Amino acid sequence: MRKKHISVGYIIVDILLIIGLLAWLFPLFMALLNSFKTDGELFTNILSFTATPSFENYVRAFTKMQYDKSIWNTILLAGLSVTLIVVLSSVAGWALCRTKSKLSSALLNLFVFSMLIPFSSIMVPLYKIVISMHLKNSLVGLSFIYAGLGVSMAIFLYHGFVKGIPYEIEEAAAVDGCNKLQTFIFVVFPLLKPITATIVITNVLWVWNDFLLPLIVISNRDKYTLLLSTNTLFGQYSNDWTGILSALILSAIPVIVFYAFFQKQILKGISDGALKG
């Protein structure tokens, strides 16, 4: 009876997971389905398949949103932001973990508590800081803002992961003549690879899919990210819905491919961090 009860439980869980997966994929499926339709077919029946699928919507969206320039801006922004997050948070997480003092504990708690602050509450002061520091329309400046917002979680993850690394390894490196910087670069950081992969991937997904922060900082059309470029298809008096759906698919494809290639690293980093943290 116990085995039967467990198997029924697994079946129920699987059914719930399948329902959740279908609910999550349904909007993406609808966008893909309707992106090949004409405006007339879209407004007639959004659930039907088109009789003559066309890539005209994709060509129009590609041109209007300046896809080649926008994707380069997004890649540059994500690369700079994630690099800053990894470099700053890995050093800080390691230093806070290895420094046993009230100050280091207070700083760690400060980083953790900062994650509880909603972004909406800092939008106005953040915009004033952007203007005062002349970071408006700067992808480099925007990457520093992303780094400032993203280091708290990354420091917390690195701090927990470093706890599982034996301190004797660092002592052995010191005996061999390594200073603190060399110990971190050549000994500690390579051991942080699993959690670094998780932090890189999750932050790339965050920066790539973010719309609000670039909308606040970037107003120059030549520096638009993919999602900002998609927003240009919304007009004051009319919207190009088939073009918008095509643009959303074009924006989602790169990040979906990226996640598909690195999902194993995400799961491995999360499991390793949980075990060592």
Report the domain count for the chain. Answer: 1
CATH of the domain at 74: 1.10.3720.10
In a domain, 126, yes or no: yes
In a domain, 252, yes or no: yes
Question: What pTM, to 2 d.p., does this model score?
Answer: 0.84
In a domain, 178, yes or no: yes
In a domain, 21, yes or no: no
137: alpha, beta or left? (left if phi > 0; alpha if psi -120 to 50): left
**What does the DSSP assignment read for 108-168?**
HHHHHHHTTS-GGGTHHHHHHHHHHTT-TT-HHHHHHHHHHHHHHHHHHHHHHHHTTS-HH
DSSP 35: T
In a domain, 4, yes or no: no
- Contact criterion met (CB below 8 Å) for 237 and 54: no
In a domain, 124, yes or no: yes
Q: Kindly give the confidence (pLDDT) of every residue in the chain, 277 residues in length, as a single tens digit, with 9 standing for 90 and above.
A: 444 455 777 888 889 999 998 898 898 888 888 888 888 888 888 888 877 888 888 998 899 889 999 999 999 999 999 999 999 999 999 999 998 889 999 999 999 898 888 888 888 898 899 999 988 999 999 999 999 999 999 999 999 899 888 888 998 888 888 888 899 999 999 999 888 988 998 899 899 999 999 999 999 999 999 989 988 888 766 678 888 888 889 888 888 888 777 777 666 655 655 455 4
The whole domain housing 118 covers 64-276
In a domain, 35, yes or no: no
In a domain, 193, yes or no: yes
Give the length of the chain: 277
**Both structure tokens of 236:** 């004051």
